[in-house]
Every structure is written in C-alpha cells, then in structure tokens.
Structure 1
Amino acid sequence: MKHALIWMVVVFFSVSCISNKRLTYLQNLPENQYIDLDEFIPYAQVEYKYILQPFDIVDIDFASSNEELTKAFEFQGSRAMRGGGMMGGGGDIFYFTGYSIDQEGYVLLPKLGRVHIAGLTEEEARLRVQEAINAYFKEDVFVKLRTGGIRFTALGEFNSSGTKVIMKNRATIFDALALAGESNILARKNKLFIIRQYDGGTKIHQINLNDRQLLASPYFFIQPNDILYLEPMKIRQIGNADNFSASLGLIVSITTSILLIVALATGNL
C-alpha cells in the first residue's frame, strides 16, 4: 500500500511539472558552445507603418501666423482637455478632441469639408490634409496629424488583461507583454495569437514567444488595434499558478485518506 501511494505521488508530480522550455522566452540558443550575446538579428523586411482605418480617431493640429485662422480649426477647450490627461482606461486620448474617420474613410474638417485619409499612413494623411488646406487658404498653414499612441487589447493568460495604450510611435510585442503584466506560469508561450486588422478585414497570426526568431518576425512590432490572446496550458484545469500548490496538497491528502480507509477495510495495515 505504501508503494502504491509513492507511485501515485510520483506519477502525479511527473504529469503536473512544467518544463522550463515552455516558460523561457527567446530560446533556440546553441548548446555546449560559446554563445555570442551580441549577435545582430535584423528586423524582418517589413516596413513598420500603420495604415489608418475607418473608425480610427486622429488628432489634427493647424499652426499659422494668423491666429484667427487657426482658431477656426480648433474645438473649444480642446487643448485644455488634452492637457488634463484624458487617457483613462485604455481609451483613445483624442476621443473628445480629435477627428473620427467615418465608415467610408473620410474625416469632416471645418472649412475644408470631407477629406479621405483611410488607407494612408499618418504622414500620407497629413500631406493630403495639407494639400486641402493649401488649396483653400492663401496664407501658409502647417498641419500636424497623429494617432493617440498604440492601443491594443490583451486577453487570456495575462496578469492584467484589458485594453492598453502605449504612448509610442513604435512598440514591440514585449512592450505589450510588460504593460499587460507579462504572462503567468500557466500560459502557452508558444501560442500567442495576434488578431490584426487590415484594410477590409482581419487576420489571425500565431507567434512563439519561446523562439528567438521572433526578433526577426514581421509580428515583432505590434500595431494599433491588435488583439493579443494567450492560451492556457491544459494543466489550467487543475488550478492556476496561485492555488496549484494548495490543489496538489488537497489531492494528496484525499488520496492518502482513501488508501488508509482501504487498508483498514482489507486488514492490510
């Protein structure tokens, strides 16, 4: 009976253990030889640029020596609202002060009317608005156009899921992981899904956080409106990383009690 108990505990531990290979980031390093940690890994040959899409919100500023002219393009109190730090809860910081791109890809600007900017990069959209305003006004007016950082959503085995905003023009997948509280011990780091929006549709991409080739992947940099979903391991059914030890102790205690009862009933104790 003692041997049976020992074997049950050994089998349970062997099934429940999680290998470090499933937890460590950026593996595939050569073994038993000198590792050059200064190895240069070039980025994938994909130009990092975000294409504006319908329902995006952009901030458009106008500057000119003629103050009366620039006031015509400024929402009342908009600058004060921006200075108040209106980012809250992962929302767009320009929700109340920016210009929303409609379903057809246009923004509605004072004096200029509807200007189509969907399908363009930020710089291309800025130049288009600049052309429109140059055709309307004789005086020089400088245009600045930008999005409200990189907003993404983290779902699944993150310590802090939800919608997040990174106030940068470019951010890596590890920037996103750090902001989402990294992944917990029961996450399948070889199965992180990126749900990415494209012009006219959506694609799902799977990446492996354990593989250092991720650094050269076209998905190393995240884009605005990305959705990151991290799958749990099958062991998640037994308990999470916080209560797994308690669950294991409870199972061992119950097993021991059952074996004792059986031993007493059969007279083998």
Structure 2
Amino acid sequence: MKQIIFFVGIILFATSCISNKRITYLQNLSDSTAIDLDEFIPFAEVDYEYILQPFDIVQIDFASSDPELVEGFTYLTNPQNLGTRVGGGGGQGSDPLYMTGYSIDQEGMVEIPKLGKIKIAGMSEEQAKLVVQQEINKFFKDDVFVRLRIAGIRYTTMGEFNNVGVQIIYKNRATIFDALANSGETSLLAKKNKLFLIRQYDGGTKIHQINLNDRALLGSPWYFIQPNDILYLEPMKIRQIGTADNLTASLALIAGLFASILLIVNLVSGDI
C-alpha cells in the first residue's frame, strides 16, 4: 500500500510542475547551446508607423502667442470646462483623454470647432497634423501651431492575464512587453507560446499567433502593439494542485495530503 501511495505521489508531483521552458520569455530556441546576450536583433523591415483608424482617439493641441486665437479651439478640450466629467471616476476605468480628446468617427472624420469635419483616418500622426495645420492656416495663416498625437494606446487583455479588461498606455509607441507589464504580467498557467493578437485592419480583422518564448519576436511586425488590439492567452492543460502558485506551496500541500493518507492507512492496518 505504501509503495502505491509513493508512486501516486510521484505522478501527482510530476503533473503539478510546470517546466521553466514553458514560462520563460525570449529563449534561444535554436539547437545551439551558446547564448549571445549582446545579440543585435533589428526591428522588422517595415518601420513602425501607426496609421490612424476610425474610433481612435487623438489629442489635438493648439498654441499661439495670442491666447484669444486658440480659445475657441481649446474650450471643449479644457478639463476645467468639463466639470465633474473628467477625473471624477477614479480607478481603472478613469480615462480623461476620452473626454478631452477628439474621436475619429466611422467615416474617418474628426470634428474640430470652427474647422468642421476633417478626414484623418488612413494617415500617420504627422500627416494628420499637417492636414489640420493647413485647415487652421486658412483662418489664421501661421499664427496658430498645431500638435496632434494618439491619445494613448488602448488595448484589451483576456484569458490568462493577472489583470484582464481594457488597458491604456499613455504613449504613442509601446511593445508587446509594455502591454504585458501594464496588464500585471501573465498567470503561471498561460501558454506563452500561443498569445493570440486580434488586430483591426482597413476593412476587417486578423488574428495573429505570437510566441513569447521566441527571441525572434523582437524583430517581428507584432513586437509593437497598436490601439484597439486584443490580446488573448490560452491556459495550459495542466492545472495546479489547490491554489498553490509556486513550488514550495505545492510541495507543502502534497506533503499534507500524503501525511493524511498514511495516517488513514495506519489506522486501517491497526484495526485489521
């Protein structure tokens, strides 16, 4: 009986452990055992430049030596004029730039006071800035300066993330690892070799599979995330015993289980 319990324990222990190879990022997956930590991995051949899409939010700022010239453009985007609508929510859902930024509609247009609707979808930030600058120059020549940029990168995490839901990075350029860190990292049970990235394109959506274990990711087109990306991580088939999150806790749990079983076996043997 004790031998049976011993072998059962070995099986339980083996199935409750997760190999480091399955959870370590950026491994050298080649057959070579040498690892060059100074290895240079260039970005993808196509330089990263985000193209604005419908439903994006952009921040447009106007500046001039004469404050009266820009007053009509900045009134709606000034938090002081929005009362309690900005900053009152707090917590994870607080997104002030949603209230102060300009939303691109389904037709790719952004509506700016006095200028009306201007199409900027399908353009880079710099191209969109030049278009808005040209429109405002019709009224004020070169007296008003325009700055246009993406109002943060909004993406969604689902599955084996420690923090799921809509996430925001207040930058105009972020990597997949920025997204992971901003989401509280992945859980221990996440399939890091099967991260599904759901991305919007002009006229549709595509699903890309990413291997976070492979260092080649650093040079792939998916290294940088984009606004409206959805990141989904599948769970491994293996399941942890109880709620243990590390090896020490798992061993303690298994030891307690064995002690209980041995106690029962001894009691039964004594009765016999």
TM-score, scaled relative to structure 1: 0.84
Preserved contact between residue 173 and residue 222 of structure 1 (Cα < 8 Å):
yes
1:211 is aligned to 214
1:204–1:252 Cα change, 3 Å: farther
2:78 is aligned to 78
Provide, for residues 33-66 of structure 1, a one-character-per-residue CA deviation record: whole Å limited to 9, x for no partner: 5432111111111321222122222121122233
Preserved contact between residue 58 and residue 145 of structure 1 (Cα < 8 Å):
yes
Establish whether residue 168 from structure 1 lines up as the match of residue 188 from structure 2: no
Preserved contact between residue 92 and residue 151 of structure 1 (Cα < 8 Å):
no
Question: Structure 1: how far apart are the matches of 2:183 and 2:167?
Answer: 7
2:17 is aligned to 17
1:248–1:57 Cα change, 3 Å: same
Of 248-257 and 171-180, deviating more is 248-257
Establish whether residue 152 from structure 1 lines up as the match of residue 169 from structure 2: no
1:132 is aligned to 135
What is the SS of the residue equivalent to 1:197? strand
The code of the aligned residue for 2:15 comes to: V
- Aligned counterparts, 1:176-195, within 5 A: 176-195=179-198
Q: Which runs of 5+ in 1 are unaligned?
A: none
Give RMSD over aligned pairs. 3.0
What is the SS of the residue equivalent to 1:221? coil
1:242–1:29 Cα change, 3 Å: closer
Of 56-65 and 205-214, deviating more is 56-65
Query: What's the CA shift for 1:261?
Result: 8.2
The code of the aligned residue for 1:161 comes to: V
Query: What's the CA shift for 1:80?
Result: 4.3
Query: What's the CA shift for 1:67?
Result: 2.4
Query: What's the CA shift for 1:253?
Result: 6.2
1:102–1:34 Cα change, 3 Å: closer
1:66 is aligned to 66
Of 58-67 and 203-212, deviating more is 58-67
The code of the aligned residue for 2:52 comes to: L
The code of the aligned residue for 1:10 comes to: I
1:235–1:34 Cα change, 3 Å: closer
Question: Structure 2: how far apart are the matches of 1:78 and 1:247?
Answer: 56
What is the SS of the residue equivalent to 2:99? coil
1:234 is aligned to 237
What is the SS of the residue equivalent to 2:206? strand
Question: Structure 1: how far apart are the matches of 2:218 and 2:269?
Answer: 58
Preserved contact between residue 101 and residue 151 of structure 2 (Cα < 8 Å):
no
2:28 is aligned to 28
Question: Structure 1: how far apart are the matches of 2:32 and 2:100?
Answer: 58
Question: Structure 2: how far apart are the matches of 1:35 and 1:126?
Answer: 44
Preserved contact between residue 186 and residue 241 of structure 1 (Cα < 8 Å):
no
1:89–1:229 Cα change, 3 Å: same
1:103–1:264 Cα change, 3 Å: farther
TM-score, scaled relative to structure 2: 0.83
Using the aligned pairs only, state the percent identity: 60
Provide, for residues 62-112 of structure 1, a one-character-per-residue CA deviation record: whole Å limited to 9, x for no partner: 222332221111125705479x98485255432222222111111111111
Provide, for residues 140-185 of structure 1, a one-character-per-residue CA deviation record: whole Å limited to 9, x for no partner: 3211111222222222222222222222221111111111111122
Q: Which runs of 5+ in 2 are unaligned?
A: none
2:4 is aligned to 4
1:200–1:191 Cα change, 3 Å: same
Question: Structure 2: how far apart are the matches of 1:212 and 1:77?
Answer: 42
Q: Report how many aligned residue pairs link the two structures.
A: 265
1:184–1:57 Cα change, 3 Å: same
What is the SS of the residue equivalent to 1:118? coil
What is the SS of the residue equivalent to 1:206? strand
Preserved contact between residue 195 and residue 227 of structure 1 (Cα < 8 Å):
yes
Query: What's the CA shift for 1:208?
Result: 0.9
Of 218-227 and 25-34, deviating more is 25-34
The code of the aligned residue for 1:208 comes to: N
